[in-house]
Amino acid sequence: MQRPTATPSRARLQSSRQFLPRLPQPLLSQSWPSRGLFDSFRRDCLADVDTKPAYQNLRQKVDNFVSTHLDKQEWNPTMNKNQLRNGLRQSVVQSGMLEAGVDRIISQVVDPKLNHIFRPQIERAIHEFLAAQKKAAVPAPPPEPEGQDPPAPSQDTS
């Protein structure tokens, strides 16, 4: 089964790309990880997620779905638990409840923080990165030799 190409999650990802247009690769691969910027965003969101109604609703739906699915299974000791687990996982994914629930969670947890918390930190990091790049690109003036007196002005007595 193929996944649809224009899902709400993908649309949200595309709009975030407009928020963060093409960023220099060194910024993403070197600067931000060393600062822990994305880790702090992740921690900030995870601290909030379990208190939001969208998460609690999704968790309840998944719990009920799993219980109903398992009630339909006839247990015997020779069952392959991995096959049962994989079948359950496929059923949950195909139901579409995860994608819709995750979109609601993002709306309740990430979206409110995007413009007021994340964007200013990202913009500050970009400005610092670009300032460092600009500073590195400007050649430093040659150092003056140490221990030598500056040349005396010439006095022409002719």
Distance, in Å, from the CA atom of 62 to the CA atom of 66, rounded to the nearest integer, reads 6
Domain ranges of the chain: 24-74+81-136
Kindly report, residue by residue over 42-99, the tens digit of the pLDDT.
Answer: 899 999 898 999 999 999 999 999 999 989 988 888 888 898 899 999 999 999 999 9
Amino acid letter, residue 148? Q
Kindly report, residue by residue over 92-142, the tens digit of the pLDDT.
Answer: 999 999 999 999 999 999 999 988 998 898 888 888 878 877 777 766 666
Alpha helix (H) residue ranges in the chain: 8-19, 25-26, 32-35, 37-49, 53-71, 81-95, 97-109, 111-113, 119-137
Kindly report, residue by residue over 8-34, the tens digit of the pLDDT.
Answer: 555 555 555 555 556 666 666 666 666
pLDDT on residue 4 = 43
Q: Which 3 state secondary structure label does DSSP give 133?
A: helix
pLDDT on residue 58 = 95
Q: Which residue has the tokens 């649809």?
A: 4
61: closest CA among 89, 105, 26, 92?
92
Q: What angle do CA 4, 17, 14 make, to 5 degrees?
A: 20
In the predicted structure, residue 153 carries a pLDDT above the cut 80: no
